[in-house]
Amino acid sequence: MSTQAPTHFVKGFKQGITHLAEQKESRLRNHVRFETLETGDRNFFDQVGSVTAVPSTTRHADTPLTDTPQSRRMVVPVSYKHADLIDKADMLRTLNDPSGAFSVAFGRAFGRAADDVIIAAALGTAKYGVDGSSSETFPGGDYTIAAGAAGLTLVKIIGANKVLRAAENDPEEGFKLCVSQEQMEDVLNDSTITSSDYASMRALMSGSISSFMGFDWIQSERLTTSTDRQCLAWAKNSILFGTLEEFNVRVSERADKSYSTQVFAENDMGATRMDATGVIDIRCVE
């Protein structure tokens, strides 16, 4: 047997490119009000507030006229872009064409960006008024549940549900609760919550919670953390997210870059808190 055979051994390479662990899509977009934004630097959404019926105590009384509360929220879309180049010389020396994998990775990045936009709008300053010149900061008070040196507890969940219902938010439109995996663990480790009933056992087996206490649960590691994690509870229509168009990606040659292949993605998106009484900041120690 020849001892020179190893000289002819070939290096094996698997076709296809594997994506590393990452959040693959927006987890919040389908849990808020979505609108396709109109072309322009600002979009406005008109609102009408609640009114009180006036009793009629006499016959042929004058028609009671009462001002109906009206307001307007402003959304300012921001353009998000990402691009990368694939050198033609590199393409000739690699087994895999990375342009398709780049497109997928960019799409996932924009999904995460959408979640960041929604989270920032939920807790940030909302612009309102005829021309959007007035500002409404997050109300705090009953709409911020203090950490109290604890993680996510049953008391906090019940309290958030109570505040949303007391403000007459409609549970039929959907109540949402966004937490990180740490808060999922808090609940799964709480024996007062996880009993032997079917729903709790299913949560224990899967390691996650999809619904509990009237909320659809969403897990996200992108929630704001200052000293404590700021988990969010909201009525679906109390947060609005919009895009000027759907995410799009272009793959083309760049003559000015020695005919390298450019993968380019862009999207314009914006969000606002539509109703101050429909979003709750739940502080949790991690």
State the average pLDDT for the chain.
Answer: 86
**Strand duo 126-128 + 70-75: pairing:** antiparallel
Show the DSSP H helices in 124-261 as ranges.
154-166, 181-188, 198-206
* pLDDT for 14 beyond 70: no
* Tens-digit pLDDT profile for residues 34-67: 999 998 889 999 988 888 888 888 888 888 888 8
Using pLDDT thresholds of 50, 70 and 90, give the confidence band for residue 9: very low
* Tens-digit pLDDT profile for residues 224-244: 987 899 999 999 999 999 999
Distance of CA 98 to the CA centre of its chain: 28
Domains defined for the chain, CATH in brackets: 29-45+71-284 (3.90.1690)
Exposure of 17 in the CB half-sphere (CA atoms within 13 A): 13
pTM attached to this predicted model: 0.86
* pLDDT for 172 beyond 90: yes
Q: Which residues face 217 on adjacent strands? A: 177
CA torsion angle 102 108 111 116 (round to 10): -100
In this structure, which amino acid lies at residue 270?
Answer: G
Other CB atoms within a 10 A radius of the CB of residue 17 amount to 15
